[in-house]
Structure 1
């Protein structure tokens, strides 16, 4: 942030999920006016995130499965859960339509 002239209404936002890996100089006074900490979601929040990322799936995953996934995904953030759902969809696609990956023909 050193060397940046005052430009009036300029806002700089930095985000990380690894604050322990950032340059310590960023945490010196005067670099950022505010620091916000967002904790990882708890089990109930993870379940709601799973519901959001699977809301268009047919058939919808059973509530019991979402409970189990939310329980097992301790430490997962929204991006992790979204990636998990996308990977599950791709695995299902591969299993249901293996010819997609075995043929060069456009299906």
Structure 2
């Protein structure tokens, strides 16, 4: 069997990881992955804005102050983690509304509390310092 290899010009590969410490050093040699861009975790203000973006259009039963509390509580989480919390909170509200048809559909504090616990549990986030641990 013959393999035909041809040079590919103008190919761009984009990769992402939350564990840059585990990237094989061989991949980082010249002519392989030439540029690395690190994006840090969001600040409290940035996390609040991420919560605002992902709750925009949701029927909220939560005050701006309460939402700000989640921004403070979410130190160490990425934007994707916060988006997951918002999605899960919305799903919690939908499930509750489906069970109790008389209750107005609002995403409430309890929906966010449950979502926060579920998402942080999946990240293996310890309770003591609210920082995620990605190491098994």
TM-score range relative to shorter protein: 0.7 to 0.9
Secondary structure at the counterpart of residue 8 of structure 1? coil
Question: 2: distance between equivalents of 1:67 and 1:94?
Answer: 25
Number of equivalences: 97
User: 1:92 aligned to 2:93?
Assistant: yes
Structure 1 contact 47–70 (Cα < 8 Å) conserved: yes
**What are the ranges of 5 or more consecutive residues in structure 1 without an aligned counterpart?**
101-107
Question: 2: distance between equivalents of 1:50 and 1:18?
Answer: 24
Partner of 2:53 in structure 1? 52
Task: Supply the RMSD in Å over aligned alpha carbons.
Answer: 2.1
Secondary structure at the counterpart of residue 60 of structure 2? coil
Judge which range, 25-34 or 72-81, deviates more.
25-34
Question: 2: distance between equivalents of 1:17 and 1:33?
Answer: 19
**What are the ranges of 5 or more consecutive residues in structure 2 without an aligned counterpart?**
102-136
Which structure 1 residue ranges, 4+ long, deviate > 6 Å from structure 2? none
Question: Normalised by the size of structure 2, how large is the TM-score?
Answer: 0.63
Partner of 1:72 in structure 2? 73
Query: 1:14-69 CA deviation, whole Å, 9 max, x = no partner?
Result: 21111122223222333212111100101000000000000011236321012100
